[in-house]
């Protein structure tokens, strides 16, 4: 019943003229937009468990971005460079175990993804890259921003393809994620042309059901053969790579080494799969010169390689004379290398293989005498050698020591490529997998700052430490803005030497001189402030530990710590390693 009052909506409908008979007009229901290929694409991504995409949109993927917004279940993280997006996605994948997803537009945007996609593929990290493309009717000719992206990405992925049929979307997305997570994980790339993305989706097209996980088991005869080879050895050593973490087989590795009393060395990328607190831990192999751990391989007659791939370092470092029996355990057969002639390849789930091998070994009486305790002693002495050293710029040994003191046991530390990688890999004690993350397959510079953003978004509230040289820091520093904007909790520790330190080190080793490697740096305090981050400049050796500890425990925001380092220790280390002779 009309009560004489006219609300604003009714007045607008009737012209708002008092005394006129009120006519109720119901608003037309908003027509539901027909589902297009982009909507189907997003549905399939959600079905695969995608929760976040890192990237930069462009004109050609506006339909896909609109579909992401309409669906509302995927968080889109806007980055400042596509390279940063790829590194964020790869580190997100490394920390969660789920494929990371990055997105770009066509042409130049897609080409900026090449480096992180190649890095993920090399380090067996599951990653799916989504690239836009121009309309299909101009792909056959020279056209603005058109690049044959499938041909670009095919050599650096497990699979790359372009969507040309709307009905193929569910299968192609299922394949992209399946390939990224197969027995040798890696990257895949899907290219979506703009006109295809706007086509009507077939009514019957729906996301495919996810397959049940498949965990392969080793053939029983190969387990018996492995046990026979181990039983015939006199000085075996275990080499553990990043595949152990990927398969969550750390406990099984620990049980086998304790059963046999066999020493364990890890690759740089395998740091943490075997705790450095364990008495059988040898540290890492992969340094550019004959390091302490290499002496264990010099005297070994059998190498049990678990989760190792030769991309992590050149096998000539551990088998220069081709005189070792090698048992290779991984989810994939290793590539050919003259210094890695596996006597036995066991291609199966790593955890299942170690469980079966331990059961077989327990049927026998096999144990070895403790070996190479001097290696642990040398490492510990070097780690503690500069803990009270007050010289400044700081010695690398003290920077590593104070960093380990400041970092709580399981907080992730991402170590970039450069001279600092050598010091951190060798000396930073690591007790859990994925708590000291190093890229030593492609050895990419500049990944750890954006990587810290990806790691932070995978574990909100957990402080993430990115350790970088000043050369690598300047390559992706723009992502500090991304970190601040998304409320990430990260600390960036920059080792300052005003040079590309690792190249300088190698030049000094080569000719005792160097050239073309020195540069200048910005004011780090002003730089941090300009991004809304907190800046800290270390001016004496006793400042780093309290500043780093406080930054990691502050509970919010982004901290940038600039710490001058004295790399004259680099050549002193080379000289010291050259003088070691365990035989004397």
Which of 132, 128, 138 shows the shortest CA–CA distance to 160? 128
Q: Each residue of 477-507: pLDDT tens digit?
A: 999 999 999 999 999 999 999 998 888 888 8
- How many CB atoms sit inside 10 A of residue 526's CB? 9
Average pLDDT over residues 450-464: 97
What is the side-by-side order of every strand in the sheet holding 75-78?
Answer: 75-78, 52-55, 100-104, 127-133, 187-193, 159-162
Yes or no: say if 331 and 350 are a contact pair by the CB < 8 Å rule: yes
For residue 378, give both structure tokens. Answer: 């040398």
**Domains of the chain with bracketed CATH:** 37-197 (3.40.50.970), 220-372 (3.40.50.1220), 385-576 (3.40.50.970)
* pLDDT at 578 (0 to 100): 63
- pTM for this predicted structure: 0.92
| Ranges assigned E (strand) in 241-384 | 264-267, 281-285, 302-306, 325-330, 344-347
> What pLDDT, on a 0 to 100 scale, did the predictor assign at position 367?
83
Per mean pLDDT, which range of 52-56, 189-193, 361-365 is the poorest? 361-365
pLDDT in tens, 88-132: 999 999 999 999 999 999 999 999 999 999 999 999 999 999 999
Contact 451, 88 (CB under 8 A): yes
Beta bridge partners of 53: 76
Q: Which of 85-89, 129-133, 258-262, 333-337 has the lowest mean pLDDT?
A: 333-337
Q: What pLDDT digit, counting tens, does each position of 348-382 carry?
A: 999 999 999 999 999 998 888 876 778 989 999 99
**Mean predicted lDDT score pLDDT of the chain:** 91
Distance CA 302, CA 329 (A): 13
Cα–Cα distance between 530 and 507 in angstroms, integer? Answer: 36
If you count them, how many residues does the chain have? 584
CA–chain centroid gap for 222, Å, is 32
Residue 290 has pLDDT above 90, yes or no: no
Phi, psi of 235 (to 5 degrees): -135, 70
Task: Give the separation between CA 556 and CA 388, rounded to whole angstroms.
Answer: 30
**pLDDT interval class at 12 (50, 70, 90):** very low
Question: What confidence category does residue 579 fall into, taking pLDDT thresholds of 50, 70 and 90?
Answer: low
Beta bridge partners of 75: 52
For 29, which DSSP code?
P
Model pLDDT, residue 436: 97
């Amino acid at each position: 019943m009309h009560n004489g009052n006219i609300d604003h909506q009714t007045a607008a409908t009737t012209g708002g003229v008092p005394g006129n008979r009120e006519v109720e007009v119901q608003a037309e229901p908003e027509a539901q937009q027909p589902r297009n290929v982009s909507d189907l694409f997003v549905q399939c991504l959600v079905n695969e468990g995608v929760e976040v995409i890192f990237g930069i949109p462009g004109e050609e993927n506006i339909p896909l971005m609109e579909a992401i917004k309409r669906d509302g279940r995927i968080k889109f993280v806007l980055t400042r460079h596509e390279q940063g997006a790829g590194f964020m996605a790869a580190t997100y994948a490394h920390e969660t175990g789920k494929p990371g997803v990055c997105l770009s537009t066509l042409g130049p945007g897609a080409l900026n993804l090449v480096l992180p996609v190649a890095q993920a593929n090399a380090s067996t990290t599951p990653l799916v890259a989504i690239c836009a493309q121009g309309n299909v009717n101009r792909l056959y000719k020279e056209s603005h921003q058109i690049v044959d992206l499938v041909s670009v990405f095919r050599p650096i992925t497990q699979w790359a393809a372009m969507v040309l049929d709307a009905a193929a979307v569910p299968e192609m997305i299922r394949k992209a994620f399946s390939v990224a997570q197969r027995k040798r994980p890696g990257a895949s790339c899907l290219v979506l042309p703009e006109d295809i993305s706007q086509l009507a989706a077939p009514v019957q097209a729906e996301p495919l059901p996810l397959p049940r996980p498949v965990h392969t088991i080793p053939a029983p005869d190969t387990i018996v053969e492995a046990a026979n080879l181990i039983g015939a050895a006199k000085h075996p050593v275990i080499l553990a790579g990043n595949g152990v973490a990927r398969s969550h087989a750390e406990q099984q590795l620990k049980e086998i080494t304790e059963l046999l009393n066999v020493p364990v060395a890890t690759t740089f990328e395998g740091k943490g799969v075997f705790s450095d607190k364990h008495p059988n831990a040898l540290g890492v192999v992969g340094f550019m010169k004959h390091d302490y751990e290499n002496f264990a391989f010099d005297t070994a007659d059998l190498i049990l390689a678990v989760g190792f791939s030769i991309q992590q370092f050149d096998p000539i470092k551990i088998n220069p004379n081709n005189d070792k029996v090698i048992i290779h355990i991984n989810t994939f057969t290793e590539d050919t290398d003259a210094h890695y002639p596996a006597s036995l390849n066991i291609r199966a789930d790593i955890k299942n293989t170690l469980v079966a091998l331990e059961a077989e070994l327990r049927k026998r009486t096999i144990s070895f005498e403790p070996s190479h305790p001097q290696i642990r002693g040398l490492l510990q002495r070097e780690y503690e050698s500069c803990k009270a050293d007050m010289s400044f710029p700081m010695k690398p040994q003290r920077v590593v020591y104070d960093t380990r003191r400041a970092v709580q046991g399981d907080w992730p530390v991402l170590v970039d490529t450069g001279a600092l990688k050598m010091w951190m890999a060798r000396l930073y004690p690591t007790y859990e997998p994925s708590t000291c993350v190093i890229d030593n397959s492609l050895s990419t510079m500049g990944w750890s700052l954006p990587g810290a953003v990806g790691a932070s978004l995978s574990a909100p509230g957990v402080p993430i430490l990115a350790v970088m040289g000043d050369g690598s820091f300047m390559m992706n520093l723009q992502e500090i803005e991304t970190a601040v904007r998304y409320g990430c909790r990260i600390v960036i520790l920059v080792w300052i030497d005003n040079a590309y330190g690792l190249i300088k080190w190698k030049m000094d080793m080569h000719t005792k001189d160097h050239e073309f490697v020195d540069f200048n740096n910005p004011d780090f305090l002003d730089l941090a402030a300009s991004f809304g981050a907190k800046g800290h400049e270390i001016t004496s050796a006793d400042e780093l530990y309290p500043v780093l500890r406080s930054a990691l425990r502050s509970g919010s925001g982004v901290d940038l710590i600039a710490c001058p380092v004295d790399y004259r220790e680099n050549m002193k280390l080379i000289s010291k390693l050259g003088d070691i002779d365990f035989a004397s």
